[in-house]
Chain A
Amino acid sequence: MTDHILSQNSPAAHDIDIARSRETRRHRLNAVLRYALLTAVGLLMLYPLIWLIGASFKTNSEIFSNPGFWPENPTLDGYIKGWKTSTPYSFGTFFLNTLWIVIPKVIGTAISCTAVAYGFARFDFPGKKILFAALIATLLLPNVVTRIPQYLIFRDLGWLDSYLPLWVPSALAGDAFFVFMLVQFLRAIPRDMEEAARVDGATTWQTLIFIVVPLLMPALISVCLFQFMWTMNDFLGPLIYISSVDKYPISLALKLSIDTTEAFEWNRVLAMSVLSLAPALAVFFLAQKYFIDGISSGGIKG
């Protein structure tokens, strides 16, 4: 054993040098291969989106003849006509409708999920285990099984063709994912500060507002961002509950525009698709850290 180690100085050292340089060469080749593959996949993934942006400035005849990004005869035709839509309302109405669905829903989600997560993470009470099990069960319960009776309940409440069916379940912490994510986050936060505040006479309510919420902020921002994205993209909810065109969000308006104009006015549909993706893309690039953190820590579906 010792002989072996002592002999390293002489001829063997040379061999090691060769092996080492072979190793670095292999590493470099490995890295080059990885970069090449990653870039190729990345381009393949993003090209449809890039093409979409270019195509929205193309003339109708060019959309199905030019696979490139750059329009040969750039035109704003698609945007101008698309914005007017084939309905009495402009696309601006549908954007405002979408915001009017999204913003109350996000606020309701943030408030209710914070309160519920706080209740689960910081209190003991009769039935806690059963309720937590119910939370996990809701997490796994496919919506498809509750959708029809939910529709009937909203019908009996007289809420059809309003945004209430989209707002109210979320304002009652209906998105179990977010509650679960916040509970996990809260469990990892030490309770010292909260206990100190309680000793100083703060109520649980004050402790929640002034101590827990600031600490919870990063997770809460993730929750708001995911809810924003999901609601922007939601199609089935509005499809079932909203019937008047003047209340349509962009998802339904886009579906309407394919039904009415797609046969001939392709660039209108593509231009409005670009506009409808723009808010989500902007929010994602401004806050991507929260998305990645949210998904890798909380384990959110996507």
Chain B
Amino acid sequence: MSGDNRFLGLLYLSPFVIGLLVFTALPFIASLYLSFTNYNLMNEPVFTGLQNYIRLFTGDRTFRKSLWVTLVYVFTTVPLKLAFALFMAVILNYKLKFINVFRTAYYVPSILGGSIAIAVLWRYIFADVGLVNMGLTTLGFEPVNWFGDPTNALFTITLLRLWQFGSAMVIFLAALQSIDKTLYEAASIDGAGKWTSFVYITLPLITPVIFFNLIMQMVQAFQEFNGPYIITQGGPLKSTYLLPIYIYDEAFKRFDMGYASAIAWVLFLIIMALTLIAFWSSRHWVYYAGDKRS
């Protein structure tokens, strides 16, 4: 293809380049600028320097609460989800009949889980007299006040996301199945038990996938919106008022676009910082074989 115009490739890329400039790059810069302004859609944006950020970190108790709730949510949901997904993938990675049936069954919630219908379902099954409490009462336990108690309310959102472990599990399973079986045979000849093989063979070989899942799930968890918005509306006592809901309320209910942009930038910088820490630390714990497929 040497006779081609050397800009021909760019022609194919043109939709992406236009989209990148108009819908990603421009908004990205604009939102940084807006975060230093006071803008309520009625007047032109007024530059106010660091005022939004000062208000965020000194005067805004809702922000502090929302930030804390978001961090608690991410740091409980992501590790629990990854651990459970890995555990189920290890159980499934065995010469079992019906493995595809199980894999499909576990994957269904991931397909549907983001929908409003499932959030609605969650409201019903965790209601005071909902399915979960009916089950608990039948088994002789006390019913739990899921949505009335601040600690429990956040946990119902976590459970909704744990329920969707399927997509992470499918990725783990694909990685587990690509591990060379002779490694385990060699280890067992050397007297290694199941647990030892898991810790010293399986885990190191799937660290790239753990890393991938970690980043993806974390970025996603920080942007959780549908679950708490529908199920708990941020309550009770703002115990499920995650930052994306706060940003939405400031921007599209109170039309305080400047302040909302400042919150969005704080959230963005937290996600970036944690992503960079993950990338930086990955040198020490992620093991890349020369070519894991060969």
Contacts and interface: CB of A to CB of B under 8 A. Distances in A.
Interface of A: 30-31, 34-35, 37-38, 41-42, 45-46, 48-49, 51-52, 55, 63-65, 67, 112, 115-116, 118-120, 122-128, 131, 134-135, 138, 140-153, 168-169, 171-174, 179, 195, 198, 204, 208, 229-230, 232-233, 235-236, 240, 250-251, 254-255, 258, 266, 269-270, 272-274, 276-277, 280-281, 284, 288, 291-292, 295-297, 299-302
Given A125-B6, A152-B30, 18 more contacts: A38-B92, A67-B134, A116-B13, A118-B12, A131-B20, A149-B26, A151-B252, A171-B15, A172-B15, A251-B115, A251-B116, A258-B120, A270-B121, A284-B108, A295-B170, A297-B174, A299-B171, A300-B167
B16 to A, nearest CB: 4
A269 B267 CA distance: 34
Contacts of B229: 235
A135 B16 contact: yes
Contacts of A120: 9, 13
Q: Indicate the member of B9, B27, B164 with the most A CB atoms within 10 Å.
A: B9
A269 B120 CA distance: 8
A61 to B, nearest CB: 11
Contact of B123 (A115, A145, A258): A258
Interface stretch (B195-203, B220-228, B284-292): B220-228
B24 interface: yes
Contacts of B225: 235-236
Interface of B is mostly: helix
Contacts of A48: 121, 125, 131, 163
A145 B127 CA distance: 34
B9 A125 contact: yes
A291 B111 contact: yes
Contact of A142 (B92, B105, B271): B271
Nearest to B25: A134
Nearest to B175: A296
Nearest to A194: B1
Contacts of A127: 10
B220 A174 contact: no
A266 B103 CA distance: 32
A9 B4 CA distance: 73
A217 B109 CA distance: 26
A191 B107 CA distance: 35
A302 B163 contact: no
Given A48-B131, A51-B131, A146 B24 contact: yes
A112 B230 CA distance: 33
A230 B102 CA distance: 23
A144 B24 contact: no
Contacts of A174: 19, 23-24
A127 B17 CA distance: 11
B71 interface: no
Contacts of A297: 174
Interface stretch (B55-63, B147-155, B179-187, B256-264): B256-264
A142 to B, nearest CB: 5
Contacts of A140: 215, 219, 275
Given A142-B268, A179-B16, A301-B167, A124 B108 contact: no
Interface in B28-80: 28, 30-31, 34
Given A131-B16, A138-B24, A266-B124, A123 B9 contact: yes
A277 B170 contact: no
B121 A302 contact: no
Most buried by B among A142, A168, A277, A300: A142
A135 B24 CA distance: 11
B28 A141 contact: yes
Contacts of B111: 229, 280-281, 284, 291, 302
Contact of A123 (B12, B16, B134, B174): B12
B34 A276 contact: no
B4 A204 contact: yes
